[in-house]
Amino acid sequence: MDDLHIRITGHAGRITFARPKALNALSHPMALAMHQALLDWKDDPRVALVIIDAEGDRAFCAGGDIAAVYHAGRAGDHQLGRTFFRDEYRLNAAIADYPKPIVAFMQGFVMGGGVGVGGHASHRIVGDTTRIAMPESGIGLIPDVGGTWLLSRAPGRIGEYLALTGARMEAGDAIHAGFADIYLPEAQWPELIARLEETGDTALIRGKRPPEAPLAGRDLSAFGGRHLSDIIEALEKAREDEILATLRRNSPLSMAAGLVMVRAARGDTRMQQALSREYRFTARATAESDFLEGVRAQIIDKDRQPAWQAEPSAERVQALLAPLEEDELLWEDAQ
């Protein structure tokens, strides 16, 4: 596959994103190929660990390649999106539960689908160019790919803040928020990768002292509000104009749902529970949310002027998160 290089080098299974001009966006065929490689290597004695990295300086993976989902949804085909999200989430779960170490080297943009790949690895390495975010509320979706699970485990109200704003984290914040583990200057990555290939030994992974984490010192108490309207009111009182400007650009329905989902995920005991909840929303997204309009404005036409229509009521959120009955994302056969 031209977009993805899969091979065994030394003691390492190697997966490299190879479409840097598209910021290594994750397509449906790429997700399927990655999952199959992990399945093939699970019991392969030649593979001691898996390394996931990416070509290019700009991005590890800037998100899912959702143009096909958009065009199908516009044409009335909502199954294509459901299939894409289902298979992507199964990849995310396979990474999180993998019995061998997975080492992710995440440079540049790591957003949405990129977080779903790198953010669930056992060893998550970031550098000076890393910018991690879950910006789905800006395209009318919700933090998915297990994002609500990660956000729910961030300290304090950082999870709510990141879910609603889609703010980008540099290396220090990413480690503080639980989206990464190790800071290492990117110039040192090739040498470490070569040694991991040679030895298959993750004990060789030693990071440097991470940069400061500005999020650690921010007052995000406003994001403890029970409802989205309470959070906005608290931010208005605190005169947080920059944050308010961001929230006013994002989908109200997506923010309301994301808030509920991050908090619900705090009660989950495994990431699959969060993924199943996320799938309830995304399976309905092309037909019943602002998703198509958000993708049109941000990715297709790029006019950055979405006309949000969906009502962000509690009843609407509850309907989008209701069980899918026979279409529910189950895990008995997911691996």
197 a catalytic residue? no
C-alpha 275/C-alpha 174 separation (Å) is 21
Classify burial at 137, counting beta carbons within 10 Å of its beta carbon; exposed 0-12, middle 13-18, buried 19 or more.
Answer: buried
C-alpha 2/C-alpha 66 separation (Å) is 18
64 a catalytic residue? yes
The residue annotated as part of the active site, out of 13, 63, 64, 73, is 64
The residue annotated as part of the active site, out of 144, 160, 197, 293, is 144
The residue annotated as part of the active site, out of 136, 160, 170, 278, is 136
156 a catalytic residue? no
DSSP letter assigned to residue 88: H
Sheet holding 59-61, edge to edge: 59-61, 109-111, 131-133
DSSP letter assigned to residue 178: T
DSSP letter assigned to residue 300: I
The residue annotated as part of the active site, out of 113, 118, 119, 166, is 113
What backbone torsions phi and psi does residue 88 show, to the nearest 5 degrees? Answer: -65, -40
**Local structure of 123: helix, strand or coil:** strand
172 a catalytic residue? no
Q: Catalytic amino acids? A: 64, 113, 136, 144
